[in-house]
Structure 1
C-alpha cells in the first residue's frame, strides 16, 4: 500500500490553530455593568438633586413666598386621611368663612396649648363677631373636650397632605445627619458640577478596543 504524505513548499507558513477567545464572560458582564452604571449614575444624581431642591422650595421657601404653612402630623387622630408623619399644607382663610367639615389647625385652649389639626363639627358666631368652634379627630370616637375661640382674622385650613415626608424631615433634623448634610452636600454638589464641566467628551468616531 502506498502512503501519500503532504509536502510543505519551501517558505510556506505553518498553519496556525483557530483563534479562540478564552476570556471569561464574567469580565464582559462586569464591563457592561460598569458601562450601565456610568450612564445611570449622573441621572440618579440629577434626580436626587432635583428632589432635594423641590423639597427645600416647598418646605422652606414656599411658606415665605406664598403664605402657606407646612406642619407634620404627630398623632393618628386624623387617620386615615392624615397619618402620623404626613405633612399638611395649610392656607389662611378668614375666620368668618369657617364652616363645618373644614380641617383647621389651631392652638388648643387647654393644657400646653399645642397646635392641633382637627375637623370642625360645629361653629358658633356671637353678636360681637367672635367665632368659637368645636372640633373632632376623624379617628376619635368623641368630640374634643373643649370649645376653641378662633383669635385673629384668619385661621389655617388644611388644603393638601404630603404622605410620610415628616418622617424624612425628622430624620434630617437628627444632629449627626444634619451636620453631614450641612457640610457634605455642598462638597458633593461642587464635585458633581466640576465633573460635569471638565469631563472629556467621547468621540463617536473613535474606535473602541475589543
Structure 2
C-alpha cells in the first residue's frame, strides 16, 4: 500500500489561527485574571463550606452525640495554655475523681455565677459526699477569692483546646456575617454549580479553521 503525504508547496504561507482565538496565545491579562478567578472561586466556596460544616459539627452536633461541652475563653487568666479566643473542650468526670492540677469549668459561687475555667489547687471531700474546691488562673498571681461547692455527681474537665477558633465563632454570630452566610453562601454555591455545569469545554485537538 502506498501512502501519499501532503507536501507544502515552496513559498506557501503557513496558516495561522485567527487573532480572536484565545487558544493561539497565552491570553490577555484580563483573560488570565478571569481564568485564575475561575479556579480560585470554587476553592474559596469549598473552604467556606468546609469551615462552616466543621464549626457546626464541633459546636452543635458533637456535644449532643459525644457529651462534651465547648466554651470560648474570654480572658487571659489561663494564658499561655488557654488564650482569649481559644475554645475549650470539656468532658464530664465523676466529682469523686477530681484532683489538684486539673483544669475544670464550673459556675463561680459569686457575682452572676458565670462559668469560669481555672486550675484546681485544692480539693476537699467531705464525709457527706460534698466536694469543695479552690482554683486559680495560671496567669493570675493569687488564688480565686472563693471556695466553690460543686453540685451534682459530675464536673467538667478541660480535655482539649482549639486555638483561635472562638474568634471565628464570634465573627459568625455577628448580624452582618450571619445574614451574608444565610443568603450569600447558598447563592455563591448555586452560581458556582451553574458555572460548572454550563461552562463551555474546548477540545484541545479540535481543528481550528483559518
**TM class by smaller structure:** 0.7 to 0.9
Query: 2:106 aligns to what SS in structure 1?
Result: strand
More moved, 110-119 vs 28-37? 28-37
Say whether the 8 Å CA contact 2:45–2:188 is kept in structure 1: no
Q: Distance in 2 between matches of 1:30 and 1:186?
A: 27
When the two structures are superposed, what TM-score results if normalisation uses the length of structure 2?
0.80
Q: Distance in 1 between matches of 2:51 and 2:117?
A: 27
Call closer, same or farther: CA 1:38–1:195 in 2, change over 3 Å: closer
Root-mean-square deviation over aligned CA pairs = 2.9
Q: Distance in 2 between matches of 1:118 and 1:58?
A: 22
Report the equivalent of 1:70.
70
Q: Distance in 2 between matches of 1:155 and 1:86?
A: 21
Task: Give runs of aligned pairs for residues 196-207 of structure 1, distance below 5 A.
Answer: 196-206=196-206
Report the equivalent of 1:8.
none
Report the equivalent of 1:124.
124
Call closer, same or farther: CA 1:208–1:89 in 2, change over 3 Å: farther
Q: Distance in 2 between matches of 1:206 and 1:41?
A: 28
Aligned length: 192
When the two structures are superposed, what TM-score results if normalisation uses the length of structure 1?
0.80
Report the equivalent of 2:137.
137
Gaps of 5+ in 2: 1-11, 20-24
Say whether the 8 Å CA contact 2:45–2:189 is kept in structure 1: no
Query: 1:33 aligns to what SS in structure 2?
Result: helix
Q: Distance in 1 between matches of 2:118 and 2:65?
A: 26
Report the equivalent of 2:148.
148
Report the equivalent of 1:166.
166
* Higher Rg of the two aligned structures: 1
Q: Distance in 2 between matches of 1:121 and 1:37?
A: 55
Call closer, same or farther: CA 1:178–1:26 in 2, change over 3 Å: same
Shift of 1:148: 0.7
Gaps of 5+ in 1: 1-14
Call closer, same or farther: CA 1:192–1:34 in 2, change over 3 Å: closer
Q: Distance in 1 between matches of 2:58 and 2:50?
A: 12
Shift of 1:209: 9.1
Query: 2:28 aligns to what SS in structure 1?
Result: helix
Call closer, same or farther: CA 1:209–1:27 in 2, change over 3 Å: farther
Q: Distance in 2 between matches of 1:124 and 1:62?
A: 32
